[in-house]
Amino acid sequence: MRSSILNLDNYDSNDDSVDVRKVISKVPAVTLGFWIIKIFATTLGETGGDAVSMAMNLGY
C-alpha cells in the first residue's frame, strides 16, 4: 500500500485539498531541524556524562 501523501499520480493542481508539493517541500526543513537538535543533544549528553564520571573520579 502506497502512502497517499507521496502519491502524485492523481495530482490535480486545481484541487483545494492538501497541497502535496507544499507538504513534500517541508521535509528538508524538518530533517535539518532534526539533525541540529540531535547534534546538540548528543553533545550535551556526552559532556554531561564526562562531567559526572570525572566528578565521581571514574575517569574517562
Q: Say what the pLDDT of residue 1 is.
A: 47
Mean pLDDT of 36-50: 95
Distance CA 49, CA 56 (A): 11
User: Sorting pLDDT into bands at 50, 70 and 90, what band is 18?
Assistant: confident
Does the pTM exceed 0.75? no
Residue 59 vs residue 14, higher pLDDT: 59
Q: Are 20 and 5 in contact (CB under 8 A)?
A: yes
Q: Say what the pLDDT of residue 22 is.
A: 79
Pick from 2-6, 19-23, 35-39: least confident:
2-6
